[in-house]
Chains A and B, each alone.
Chain A
Amino acid sequence: MTLSLSRSLDFVSTITFPDLVFFFLAVLILGCGFVVVYSKNIVHSGFSLLGTFAGTAGLYGLLSAHFVAAAQVLVYVGGVLIVILFAIMLTRGIQEAKASNPSTGLIPASIAGLVVASMLIVIAVSFPWKTKALTEAASTVPQIGHALLDTYLIPFEILSVLLLAALVGAVMLVRKEIKSDSEETEA
């Protein structure tokens, strides 16, 4: 295995180390994605999501979007994934034991997905993208900071209000039932 790999490395000398990293990340992302979609156990799906999110963060790093990679790790791996795992654990009681992640119409859905994927791949490969020559990427973090407080100031502020609204809304949704319970006990 390693021998054939090193031999193919000798032959394909144009493949650089970042390329290998890309292929590793692509396999990680898509492999974990397959487990997320096709696993019978939702806990397995939830943990495979970790591989997809982490691999995506790696791709961002490969594209020299270091700040977005850090945000991906912090928000997705550290936030969204934990919330999803919490929700799985809190709602698993009813569906424990056997197939805890039922799917219906997996075959038609897979066919639809295959059609969409092949269409998108054909477009991505055949379209003559006007790519620029890659320059040596400097760190984009200072530029992003300036852009967020300059060009994108209004969206940035609106986003903070949206986060506040989401926070209050989430608390409201989960609190509601408790309030009606106390009203029932009063009545």
Chain B
Amino acid sequence: MNLTIGLPHFLVVAAVLFALGLVCVLSRRNAIGLLMGVELILNSANINLIAFSRFIENGISGQVFALFVIVLAAAEAAIAMAIVLAIYRSFKNIDVALTVNLKE
């Protein structure tokens, strides 16, 4: 594995992915679309963690933290989907701009 590209390449990919996730979170009105943006952001953070752990530390702590992030993302996705389904059941809609009442 003779990789001639360096750390900045990976950081640039992660930065663009983060910006895409940010745009998604800012502009989407569908709750599931919002969640996809959050997943993009978490993935970009993971790329950063692993790239730093490979190029600067050359160890494994970054990988362990990336694993923790993956587990948290899975838990977050499960909870968020349950919330989305609960919202859909009471509002018959998952447009975040329309679900403004906390109580029926």
For this complex, 20 residue pairs linking A to B, each with C-beta atoms less than 8 Å apart, are: A15-B4, A16-B2, A37-B23, A45-B33, A52-B43, A68-B46, A72-B70, A80-B73, A84-B36, A103-B28, A114-B19, A124-B8, A125-B8, A131-B7, A134-B55, A140-B60, A147-B64, A148-B64, A169-B79, A173-B79
Q: Which residues of B contact A159 (CB under 8 A)?
A: 68, 71-72
Chain A residues within 8 Å of B, Cβ to Cβ: 14-16, 18-19, 22, 26, 29-30, 33-34, 36-37, 42, 45-46, 49, 52-53, 56, 59-60, 62-65, 67-68, 71-72, 75-76, 79-80, 83-84, 86-88, 90-91, 94-95, 100-106, 108-110, 112-114, 116-117, 120-121, 124-125, 129-132, 134-137, 140, 143-144, 147-148, 152, 155, 159, 162-163, 166-167, 169-171, 173-174, 176-177
Q: Which of B9-56 contact A (CB under 8 A)?
A: 9-13, 15-24, 26-30, 32-33, 35-37, 39-40, 43, 46-47, 50-51, 53-56
Query: B12 contacts A124, CB within 8 Å?
Result: yes
Instruction: Report the 3 A-B pairs with minimum CB-CB distance, sorted nearest first.
Output: A117-B19, A124-B11, A120-B15
Main secondary structure of the interface of A (DSSP, over half): helix
Tell whether B102 is near chain A: CB-to-CB under 8 Å: no
Decide: A177 and B89 in contact? CB cutoff 8 A: yes
